[in-house]
Chains A and B, each alone.
Chain A
Amino acid sequence: MIGLQHYLLVSAALLGIGAFGALTRRNAIAVLMGVELMLNAANLNFIALWRFLTPYSMEPQVFVLIGLTIAAAEAAIGLAVVLNIYREYGTVNLDKIAELKG
């Protein structure tokens, strides 16, 4: 029987993988992908908790839909930013982009 804990474990794993990717990858595209994974972990949490704790309430589903929308928007903006960074610097290697170094 697959219970709430399993969903939560998968979700935590997704969050960890996403965070690891976002923090360690040099490539900006890969960082964006890590962020997407973290957003999906949150969405999965929402759905799992809704299903097992408050199945008769519709609000969590609304939140998840909003979360998906934001993830899509974020991907679009993020890609646009990465595209511009590439045009400006000729690279998407985040180690090379340190204009704000103190």
Chain B
Amino acid sequence: MSVLAPTADPVLWLIVLVPLFMAVVAGILALTRRLEGAAPYLTSIGTGIAGLVALTHRPSRTHGYLGHVDVSWLQVWDRFHIALSVHLDHLAWVMVGVVCAVSLLVQVYSIGYMRGERGYARYFAYLSLFTASMLGLVVADNLFQLYVCWELVGICSYLLIGFWWHKPSAASAAKKAFVVTRFGDVGFMLGLLFLSVAAGSFGFTDVQHAFARIGSGAQQASTLMSNEVFLWVVPLLLFCGAVGKSAQFPLHVWLPDAMEGPTPVSALIHAATMVAAGVYMVARLIWLFTWSSVSAPLRGPLAIPLDVILVVGAVTALIAATIALVQNDIKKVLAYSTISQLGFMMMALGAGNTAGQATSMFHLVTHAFFKALLFLAAGSVIHALHHAPDPNDLRYMGGLRHRMPWTALTCGIGVVALAGLPPFSGFWSKDAIAGLLMERAGWFGHRMSPEGVLQLGADPDVASFGAVVALVVTVLTAFYAFRLWFLAFAGTPRSQAATQAHESPAVMTLPLVLLAVPSVFAGWWLHHNSLLEAYLTNEHGAPMHLTVAVVATVLALAGAAMAVRLYLKPSSGEDPVCGMPRPLYALFSNLWYVEAFWSAAVAPTLLKLGSTVAWADRNIVDGTVRATGRGIVRVGYEVRRMASGQAQSYATVIVAATVAVIVLLVLYEAAASGGMP
């Protein structure tokens, strides 16, 4: 890790504060219901300013520039302090760029998509608040700020999923997203508190230095940090947060429901940025996961954080891709596709070390562009089909390529990028992940020595599993991506609404075109001379293996060809995908029974637990309080009878007590001086 002297540049504060300010302004417009039409322009300008500031303050390897400003927020004596910061290092800079670019394009797109909606300004206030929170999360230099912003983006997600709160399905989807992610967040909070207590600081660099000092033996480990269990429990707890936020198995169930929100929201929050926060967090702390995994005494069966990450990512990628095969809702297909691709990013992180970090971020960047593009294209279709019985349903579409050429073209680019066909962006990043996993698995001739494996992290067998899953998912991804496009745009219209559809206005198609450009070129450009990897880790990654590229391309082509063969000819009967073996179809269309498991097993247990706790609160906690009050009243009632109201009886008591005290004193004196006087 190169040591760069941070440069304090106050202008960096603008990255977070301008979108926040614009969110407040748009919120005021929304509350006063004045000039609501101005809100999108204000928030877009705010996001644009933030992006420009980041663009002009690029941390560089060659010039040794690293922007950092902070202000002490909470100082608890000399025990610890919590800072608010804008820390623009290489990793953060890449992410800030993605967030600003996608957020800006989504806001521009929303000008057209949300036109005439109630709560127009409120929508943009939420979007801008989300952008500010997400940027705050990305530029955090300490765990505390990361966590605060982590919850803030969760709140924005909740508000935006439930934007059409009058729809019961939207309201309950918002609640579901909030509650399900909370499962992971509990673990995340415990993990970061443990970590901070052990290291004595919230700051990323402080924590890393504390671990480094112990690793080099320069400092005696605190009792907590020398505890072996602690060292792999904390990363796993932190990973729980990523599982919730990045919709990994088994907490992925909230993301498909989150599609109840407006489509641009799905593009920004539930495809490109917020759901990537979990991946970003693990990438940010990859040294911790790698360190705790490669510490030799800790290596045991599945007790290794990196292996857990890899397996969770692989299972997620596989399950979500198979479910995406059989979905008929255009947004659900994309939602499961997002879950699957996030699983890919997790797999790359599971490979460990800086290589895993860079590869995962590579896929995060390309995926952000092509998945935002796909969602916005889907939004364009939904916008055009708003007269259909269900505008989201692929079965009411068909033949839209003639009616909506721009949407069809850009969506096609997104589909090809998602499928991973060369030279589109998804191809490069997905193959980088597959190649990395195969390298870890030792498929390229030499199986690594145990020492080499220890240094790198992931277990070779686990990595083999990940590599196989990656290849299988490549086929599935290409199939469902092409299926989506052919169902929507090819063939003949299958509904009245589809025949009358017309292209969306330029304010919506322009962002599509602008997103299509990086969807085509970003992969090649970033892969070229391993630009991203060199930028993030200061070391050149391995060149792409030709075999991996060929095999992955052939597999993707096979999946695509299958989809083309099945869907090119318009079939009047049922969906050809129903032709797969019955048990498989049942498994996939029932979402692998994960939803059923949650609602049948977990939810009733939790409800019972909740009602038990509520009973205990009402009867034990409240009961104690009430019993205390009632007891005191009763005691008072008894004592009251002593008050006869007759002064002489009181005086008698006083005299008797005085006499008794005197007698006792005399007796005591006598006993002390030995015998009666």
Contacts and interface: CB of A to CB of B under 8 A. Distances in A.
* B partners with A: yes
Interface of A: 19, 22-24, 31, 94-95, 97-102
Nearest to A101: B645
Contact of B648 (A31, A99, A100, A102): A31
B647 A94 contact: yes
Contacts of B644: 98, 101-102
B646 interface: yes
A99 B646 CA distance: 8
A97 B649 CA distance: 12
Among A24, A97, A99, A102, the most chain B Cβ lie within 10 Å of the Cβ of A102
A19 to B, nearest CB: 6
24 contacts: A19-B655, A22-B648, A22-B651, A23-B648, A23-B651, A23-B655, A24-B648, A94-B648, A95-B646, A97-B646, A98-B645, A98-B646, A99-B645, A100-B645, A101-B643, A101-B644, A101-B645, A101-B646, A102-B640, A102-B641, A102-B642, A102-B643, A102-B644, A102-B645
A94 B646 contact: yes
Among B640, B646, B655, the most chain A Cβ lie within 10 Å of the Cβ of B646
Contacts of B75: none
Interface string B446-457: 000000000000
Contacts of A31: 648
Among B641, B642, B644, the most chain A Cβ lie within 10 Å of the Cβ of B644
Interface of B: 640-648, 651-652, 655
Nearest to A31: B648
A95 B652 CA distance: 14
Nearest to B637: A102
Contacts of B652: 23
B14 to A, nearest CB: 72
Given A100-B645, A102-B645, 10 more contacts: A23-B648, A94-B647, A94-B648, A97-B646, A100-B643, A101-B646, A102-B641, A102-B642, A102-B643, A102-B644
Contacts of A94: 646-648
B652 to A, nearest CB: 5
Nearest to A96: B646
Contacts of A95: 646
A100 B643 CA distance: 8
Nearest to B659: A19
A94 B640 CA distance: 20
A99 B645 CA distance: 6
Nearest to A98: B645
A100 to B, nearest CB: 4
Contacts of B642: 102
Contacts, number: 30
B487 to A, nearest CB: 87
B656 to A, nearest CB: 9
Among A22, A23, A24, A94, the most chain B Cβ lie within 10 Å of the Cβ of A23
B515 to A, nearest CB: 83
A95 B299 CA distance: 90
A30 to B, nearest CB: 11
Nearest to B639: A102
Nearest to B656: A23
A23 B646 CA distance: 11
A56 B640 CA distance: 53
A82 B212 CA distance: 90
A94 B647 CA distance: 8
B65 to A, nearest CB: 83
Contacts of A24: 648
A24 B643 CA distance: 18
A63 B502 CA distance: 113
Closest 10 CB pairs of A and B: A101-B645, A102-B643, A98-B645, A102-B640, A100-B645, A23-B652, A98-B646, A23-B648, A101-B644, A23-B651
A47 B647 CA distance: 31
Contacts of A22: 648, 651
B107 to A, nearest CB: 74
A99 B640 CA distance: 14
B393 to A, nearest CB: 79
Among B643, B647, B655, the most chain A Cβ lie within 10 Å of the Cβ of B647
Contacts of B648: 22-24, 31, 94
A97 B641 CA distance: 17
A94 B648 CA distance: 8
Contacts of A97: 646
A102 B643 CA distance: 5
A20 to B, nearest CB: 10
Nearest to A100: B645
A101 B645 CA distance: 4
A101 B647 CA distance: 10
A28 B648 CA distance: 10
Contacts of B641: 102
A22 B621 CA distance: 52
A39 B642 CA distance: 29
Among B640, B643, B648, the most chain A Cβ lie within 10 Å of the Cβ of B648
A3 to B, nearest CB: 17
A101 B643 CA distance: 6
Contacts of A102: 640-645
A54 B261 CA distance: 100
Contacts of B646: 94-95, 97-98, 101
A47 B109 CA distance: 107
Contacts of A99: 645
B639 to A, nearest CB: 8
A99 B132 CA distance: 72
Nearest to B658: A19
A21 to B, nearest CB: 11
Contacts of A98: 644-646
Nearest to B652: A23
Nearest to A24: B648
A36 B640 CA distance: 32
A91 to B, nearest CB: 14
A24 B647 CA distance: 11
Nearest to A19: B655
B640 to A, nearest CB: 4
A19 B646 CA distance: 16
Nearest to B641: A102
A59 B168 CA distance: 92
Nearest to A95: B646
A24 B645 CA distance: 15
Contacts of A19: 655
B264 to A, nearest CB: 74
A97 B655 CA distance: 21
Contacts of B640: 102
B470 to A, nearest CB: 85
B653 to A, nearest CB: 10
